[in-house]
Chain A
């Protein structure tokens, strides 16, 4: 049976006309594809096109951030605008705000490899790892002649996160400091003194205190005191914070002076064994039961569960000073909270803390190193005030007035408390243990996370897991240093 012949609207196209059409269509599409091509980095901000001074060519800077809310990204536009009033020769493109996740690294690395990186950028992972591989410009000479960013204007422990073999490769403009947040009203309901001075000073005290709050209903954990050492459902963060607990027990995870990993020291093994004993005693020895029962952190987790701390079901947990504002992103079941110093472990003697900075760096291949650094210096010393007004974090540069206080905290808890808590976190920066200093930081973090998972999941003893991680990390480190 002959099939019906269907022709498109009765016209029969010859092969030649089809090829012509296709070629034309292709060409037209090529042209069209160029159509919405914007002029890169020439977009100036609303209205302020200040003409360059006679004789100087205007310089265009591109500035990136890994992500952030629209408010945060817009604040960079304001900072740029202010800067351009001072330096009319420089135009700064609208801040290129990325997706806030790992994709940013992909793009940044690709542009550095291809030779067209941004002139300056914020990064959320350790500059040391980038610097070891020659991906960042050294800044010491620029810092020495700068307005705000001399070496002595930065807290030493925090600046260590940007330094490798004596050279500095980034500016840690904000450095969120860690503290032990606790629910004062929950304490008082159990008749426990809730002032900061009464907070536990040793691990044994913390452990005893935690038992007061932990309550199981069958296999469901209803309320908890404190989980050693961090939210068990987030081994990545736990690996970051483990550096603090290691320091509290008199050791460290990474020796930045000698560039060696020190994961399986006696104290670190002791620390993990302590956590394991605590888990067995208070949490039925079963992490899965804990994580199934709820979200034991301060922000909604990947499953969207509301955080237990704001719900009043978690008495104490580790977090950074940004939490003083972020806390209010979820409904709060109580009003009064505070943060305490980290208690000291059996082998430790002094309290310690940690930090997580936003780093400003200049990628290798940046076209305007000096101008980019001038802008970074400005952000570190002055622009940070605009930043802080929109998204409060802890400015690290010591020239920044220390009486900056987040408005959200003033709203909720009053001026006096806000100043006090801010001063507390500034103090925490002073006792911060060096973090983010490893040339294989992210690899190391994931191996530490894996070790934590194995230990808490009873698949390996603390000694086995930490030793395996130690070997892997040290091998990786040696490899990275060999080609540095």
Chain B
């Protein structure tokens, strides 16, 4: 990823701009209009905060439940802060037999990371082929691609499993990672749509200049869809982080298990140790929150660096 140059960030820019406007306009005849703008801005914040709180609920519930003992988790009415908070739940979850957190974490990082890289590399290229290069049978192939998304995985699961058994790849991550190097229908579709938002003249102009298709892709198109690439990376990482069924089916050695599978250690035959499960789930979530917070800044900033097509 290209390093950020010396600039102030967009939020800082905006804040400074707002302040400057405020100072300039307080005593001007257009003060009334400015005031209205700021009331709207405040209203927007209130709305954002309200909706944000609603959205945060599952996360908040998970974290506060992580601090409760088992029978308090579902108490009615809901306890917003456990009394007393059981910080020991986190320690207990960390040391729980069959939940070796660090090893599970490493496996998750490996699995999600490998799949993410594979997907980004392959889908960026394949989607470009569908979007901007004309070849016979392209549109039919594209519809077939979308069609593969409509077939429930439940049903294709058994033949796929038998296929990998025949290839001798059960008991490893290969069935889960290798196919991703060849593309993923969802992201091929998504990236294609993003490529289509770019103006077609860009490629034509470059072709006239003598650039070959690959250089056009690599040097012109790819940087312009960087927000989408980052979205793809964040999604794939996140979804793979939560994927438990793939590892469940294809891995046989518990030392290979990712966090998503490890969480099931807290389920008993007819019950679940909710407090511990939520503590473990919170631990599982933390790396994601950090990655996402860092990542989403970049794809906003990233576009600011490349020249906006005008």
Q: Is the CB of A107 within 8 A of B98?
A: no
In contact, B265 and A70 (Cβ under 8 angstroms): yes
CB distance from B174 to the nearest CB of A (A): 5
Q: Mark A1-33, 1 if CB is under 8 A from B, else 0.
A: 111111111001111001000100110011011
B96 within 8 A of A: yes
Given contacts A30-B174, A113-B158, A114-B161, 20 further A-B contacts (CB under 8 A): A5-B219, A6-B305, A6-B306, A25-B117, A25-B121, A29-B181, A33-B178, A34-B173, A36-B256, A38-B256, A68-B268, A68-B269, A69-B265, A96-B252, A96-B254, A100-B264, A110-B158, A300-B74, A306-B74, A329-B71
- Does B73 reach chain A (CB closer than 8 Å)? yes
Q: Is the interface of A mostly helix, strand, loop or mixed?
A: loop
CA distance A368 to B73 in the complex (A): 45
Q: How far is the CB of A230 from chain B (nearest CB, A)?
A: 15
Chain B residues lying within 8 Å of A12, measured Cβ to Cβ, are: 215, 219
CA distance A30 to B265 in the complex (A): 30
Chain B binder among A39-47, A405-413, A466-474: A39-47
Q: How many residues of B contact A (CB 8 A)?
A: 64
Is A322 located at the chain interface by the 8 A CB criterion?
yes
Interface residues of B (CB under 8 A from A): 2, 70-71, 73-76, 96-99, 107, 110, 114, 117-118, 121, 157-158, 161-162, 165, 170-174, 177-178, 181, 202, 205, 212, 214-215, 218-220, 223-224, 244-245, 248-249, 252-256, 261, 264-271, 273, 305-307, 309-310
A-B contacts, 21 listed (Cβ < 8 Å)? A2-B205, A5-B219, A6-B2, A6-B306, A8-B2, A18-B214, A22-B121, A38-B253, A38-B255, A39-B253, A40-B171, A40-B253, A68-B267, A69-B269, A103-B245, A110-B158, A306-B71, A306-B75, A329-B70, A330-B71, A331-B71
Q: Which interface class (under 10, 10 to 19, 20 to 34, 35 or more) fits A? A: 35 or more
Chain A residue with Cβ nearest B165: A114
| A195: B residues at CB distance < 8 A | none
Chain A contacts to B: CB under 8 angstroms:
1-9, 12-15, 18, 22, 25-26, 29-30, 32-41, 43, 67-74, 94, 96-100, 103, 106-107, 109-110, 113-116, 299-300, 304-306, 322, 326, 329-331, 391
CA separation between A454 and B188, bound complex, in Å?
46
User: A73 to B165, Cβ gap below 8 A?
Assistant: no
Asked whether A99 lies within 8 Å of B158 as measured between CB atoms, the reply is no
- When A305-B74, A306-B76 are in contact, do A69 and B219 touch as well, CB less than 8 Å? no
A1/B310 in contact, CB under 8 A:
yes
B239 CB to nearest chain A CB (Å): 17
